[in-house]
Amino acid sequence: MLRFFNSLTRRKEEFVPHDKVVKMYSCGPTVYSYPHIGNMRAYLFMDNIRRTLKYNGYKIDGVMNITDVGHLTSDADEGEDKMLVASQREHKSPWEIAKFYTEIFMKDVKSLNIDLPEHIVPATSVIDDIIAFVKGLQDKGYAYETSKGIYFDISKFGGYGQLGMDVNAKKAGARVEVDGEKRHPADFALWIKAPKEHIMQWSSPWGMGYPGWHIECSTIGKKYLGDYIDIHTGGVDHKTIHHENEIAQSDCLEGHKVVHFWMHLEFLQIDGGKMSKSQNNIFTLQDLVNNGFSPEDFRYFYFMAHYSKQQNFTYDSLMSARNSLRNFKTAVSEHRLGKAVLSDESKEKYSQDFLNAINDDLNMPVALAVCQKLLKEPKSKDVYDLIMKFNEILGLDFEIQALSIPDEVKALAERRWQAKQNKNYAEADKIRGEITALGYTINDKKDGYEIVKN
């Protein structure tokens, strides 16, 4: 049974897709600055879900947005558009900013071996669809116009606050707007009317303007996945504003619940605290590389905590992950040419334990523990083959390492092993010399041998 924690119901539930293909939406990056490692943990989370679904035999139709317009400096419709702030900071157009940081983001996710969704959609590519979505909400009486833009009226949606937002508390603590046009402090912008000097703006039924941030995800989800989405992922910071607003928009336009599983990732902390510019503790993947680590070290680090728990990053903890990964890969390599046999019963037990771990709401620490226990078995190609199967989830580069040894060297190593088994030590030593001349060393183990490149 595959079970995920559903933020909507606040409990683990059996996951059963609506149709043969799982429809999955993941909140993507706002491409106004370098993505940091907290951002990248969110996409490792997305990757973890996608790989687990595929491991269970499901096909996926997945979507991720690229926010290249409309995300204001406050998630609550305040401040300037982040793209314009970056444009002024770097003296480039918003489109140049979006292109540059999108390329950085795509490079980072590739280096982490993240399984990307089938559709990656910039918000600026669906402006006409966004306008149609907003118009649909307005026509149904869920939106109203002010001098600033088109706002969603949360009083018209009885289900607002399903993910935990306390709407009454927000109303009590809100400052009254000067123009008094907003009916409720939690009403949010669907479309923002732009002043003439605003760089990014489009023609609409309400004049020139640009979309609010929240509307792009609902629009892109509708366009690419339809009116039923099995899973929607994102960070816990999106839960009580951005995702509450998505639910309101989508459910009101369609007339029914659109997203059935909401899955949220907890924060990555830095040295026990929050990442912030004032603390100078915002690290990018390139920062880790500059300090001698690989993206794969960070991928393995992610596996060492459950996604629903805050994970604390320090360079010491990353060093520990790197050492564990190296030991892990060494142990796997030692099994590749092992001669012991793992019983069918043991294979089934390890396979089931691993499946139980990942199917229990992506419990990667337990899944790793299953792998570690497996690697303590006598050196066996059966163990190696099982780890390679599990690697459909782990996404590490064991196969690349194995394939880097030429077939000629592998054949010589096998001949040498057979010579040793036949007590033909002179022949074995001769073949060892041939292997050494080709740039490789044979290390004999209790249950087999390993080949190491010099």
Question: Rounded to an integer, what distance in angstroms lies between the CA atom of residue 96 and that of residue 226?
Answer: 31
Range of weakest confidence among 63-67, 95-99, 106-110, 394-398: 394-398
Amino acid identity, position 359: N
Taking only the tens place, the pLDDT of each residue in 10-22 is 999 999 999 989 9
Q: What is the pLDDT of residue 280?
A: 80
Q: What is the pLDDT of residue 384?
A: 95
Arithmetic mean of pLDDT, 150-155: 96
Arithmetic mean of pLDDT, 66-71: 95
Our CA angle for 396, 398, 403, nearest 5°, is: 135
Taking only the tens place, the pLDDT of each residue in 417-452 is 899 889 999 999 999 999 988 888 888 876 678 787
Q: What is the dihedral of CA 13, 14, 20, 26, to 10 degrees?
A: 40
Question: Rounded to an integer, what distance in angstroms lies between the CA atom of residue 203 and that of residue 25?
Answer: 28
Is residue 133 predicted with pLDDT exceeding 90? Answer: yes
Is residue 221 predicted with pLDDT exceeding 70? Answer: yes
Taking only the tens place, the pLDDT of each residue in 316-344 is 999 999 999 999 998 999 898 899 999 99
β-strands 21-26, 11-14 pairing: unpaired
- By percentage, how much of the chain surpasses pLDDT 90? 80
Q: What is the pLDDT of residue 448?
A: 75
Question: Residue 404's pLDDT band (boundaries 50, 70, 90)?
Answer: low
Is residue 260 predicted with pLDDT exceeding 50? Answer: yes
Question: Residue 399's pLDDT band (boundaries 50, 70, 90)?
Answer: low
The more confidently predicted of residues 108 and 400 is 108
Q: How many CB atoms lie within 10 A of CB 16?
A: 9
Question: Residue 42's pLDDT band (boundaries 50, 70, 90)?
Answer: very high
Q: What is the pLDDT of residue 204?
A: 98
Task: Count how many residues are written for the chain.
Answer: 454
Arithmetic mean of pLDDT, 139-145: 98
Q: What is the pLDDT of residue 143?
A: 98
Q: Are 296 and 325 in contact (CB under 8 A)?
A: yes
Read off the tokens for 267. 């924060």
Question: Rounded to an integer, what distance in angstroms lies between the CA atom of residue 49 and that of residue 39?
Answer: 16
3-class state of residue 258 by DSSP: coil
Instruction: Say what the pTM is.
Output: 0.87
Question: Rounded to an integer, what distance in angstroms lies between the CA atom of residue 240 and that of residue 248?
Answer: 12
Q: Are 358 and 52 in contact (CB under 8 A)?
A: yes
Taking only the tens place, the pLDDT of each residue in 272-313 is 888 876 678 899 999 999 999 999 999 999 999 999 999 999
Range of weakest confidence among 278-282, 359-363, 378-382: 278-282
Q: What is the pLDDT of residue 178?
A: 38
DSSP class of residue 372 equals: H
Which run of H or of E encompasses 167? helix 167-173
**451 beta partners:** 442
Q: What is the pLDDT of residue 11?
A: 98
- By percentage, how much of the chain surpasses pLDDT 70? 95
3-class state of residue 91 by DSSP: coil
Q: What is the pLDDT of residue 172?
A: 39
DSSP class of residue 75 equals: T
Question: Rounded to an integer, what distance in angstroms lies between the CA atom of residue 350 and that of residue 367?
Answer: 10
Write b or e for each residue in 60-69: b if 16 or more Cβ atoms lie within 10 A of its Cβ, otherwise e: bbbbbbbbbb
Q: What is the mean pLDDT of the chain?
A: 92
DSSP class of residue 184 equals: S
Q: What is the pLDDT of residue 335?
A: 93
Our CA angle for 39, 214, 118, nearest 5°, is: 60
